[in-house]
């Protein structure tokens, strides 16, 4: 029995020794595994941090639609009917572009007023552009119905403004650079202002002799009806207007052959 016990004890010791050895081996294996894993982790590349930049929002403006613009070019009307039977025109875009006069004709203006008729021989020799402009407007019946808005005693009577304030015109300036050369006397007819293409005055008295002829574009001379001019002049007020409304009932252009004016 003692031998059995010894053997049993020895067996137990051997078993414990084996278990211990197995434990050591297991620990060694774990250590090896852990070591290998550490080496793998050490050898593995570190994660790379990628910088991400947020995209900047770009606003693209929608282009405005292109609108085609055109500048209206002032257009002159053609020469009016010689008999004056065309429509009445009071607003023009431009001065006459061509001459409406015939070279072999002499031109006169027959101005019928509330006080009587005035005949004016137009100065085509010295002022062809000025006369052409006047004939152009007259044949478009521009002057018909306009008042003598300015009447200054012993000085001038003036008409040709389509507006009541006396500042109106046809819509363009007188294109001519023509100037008078003779001193003004009763019966002289000139354009009132180079900046206005329609207004004209008839000298009605001696006070107009003080005016500088070079400042005005010549138009013509009264050949008949100076007494009518004097009648209108007699209506002058201190304010430079007429005490009665006197209008141009009609302004007719007469083209004559030859040099002698008619008297009708």
- Residue 133, token pair as written in the block: 């402009």
Measure the CA–CA gap between 109 and 253, rounded to whole angstroms. 5
* Consecutive H or E run containing 137: helix 128-139
Q: Kindly report the backbone phi and psi dihedral angles of residue 202, in degrees, each rounded to the nearest multiple of 5, phi listed first.
A: -110, 125
Largest CA distance in the chain: 186
- pLDDT category at 172 given cuts 50, 70, 90 is very high
Say whether 255 sits in a helix, a strand or coil. strand
Measure the CA–CA gap between 9 and 7, rounded to whole angstroms. 5
Share of residues in the chain with pLDDT > 70 (%): 70
Within 10 angstroms of residue 18's Cβ, the number of other Cβ atoms is 10
Measure the CA–CA gap between 212 and 131, rounded to whole angstroms. 20
Residue 232 DSSP one-character state? H
- Residue 107, token pair as written in the block: 């031109």
Measure the CA–CA gap between 37 and 43, rounded to whole angstroms. 10
Shortest CA distance to 251 belongs to which of 151, 130, 159, 152? Answer: 159
**pLDDT tens digits along 131-164:** 999 999 999 999 999 999 999 999 999 999 999 8
- pLDDT category at 257 given cuts 50, 70, 90 is confident
Does residue 8 have a pLDDT over 90?
A: no
pTM of the model: 0.72
* Consecutive H or E run containing 38: helix 2-43
């Amino acid at each position: 029995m003692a031998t059995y016990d010894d053997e049993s004890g020895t067996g137990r010791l051997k078993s414990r020794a084996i278990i211990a050895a197995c434990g050591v081996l297991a620990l060694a294996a774990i250590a090896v595994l852990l070591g290998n894993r550490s080496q793998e982790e050490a050898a593995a590349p570190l994660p790379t941090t990628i910088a991400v930049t947020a995209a900047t929002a770009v606003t693209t403006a929608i282009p405005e639609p292109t609108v085609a613009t055109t500048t209206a070019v002032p257009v002159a009307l053609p020469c009016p009917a010689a008999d004056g039977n065309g429509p009445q025109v009071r607003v023009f875009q431009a001065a006459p572009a061509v001459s409406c006069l015939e070279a072999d004709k002499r031109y006169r203006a027959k101005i019928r007023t509330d006080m009587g008729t005035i005949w004016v021989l137009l100065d085509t020799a010295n002022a062809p552009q000025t006369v052409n402009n006047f004939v152009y407007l007259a044949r478009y019946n521009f002057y018909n119905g306009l008042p003598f808005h300015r009447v200054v005693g012993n000085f001038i009577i003036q008409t040709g403004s389509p507006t009541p304030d006396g500042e109106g015109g046809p819509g363009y300036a007188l294109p001519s650079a023509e100037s008078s050369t003779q001193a003004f006397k009763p019966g002289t007819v000139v354009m009132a202002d180079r900046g206005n293409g329609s207004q004209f005055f008839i000298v009605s008295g001696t006070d107009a002799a003080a005016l500088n002829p070079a400042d005005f574009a010549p138009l013509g001379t009264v050949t008949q009806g100076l007494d009518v001019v004097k009648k209108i002049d007699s209506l002058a007020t201190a304010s430079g207007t007429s005490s009665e409304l006197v209008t141009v009932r009609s302004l007719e252009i007469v083209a004559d052959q030859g040099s002698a004016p008619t008297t009708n």
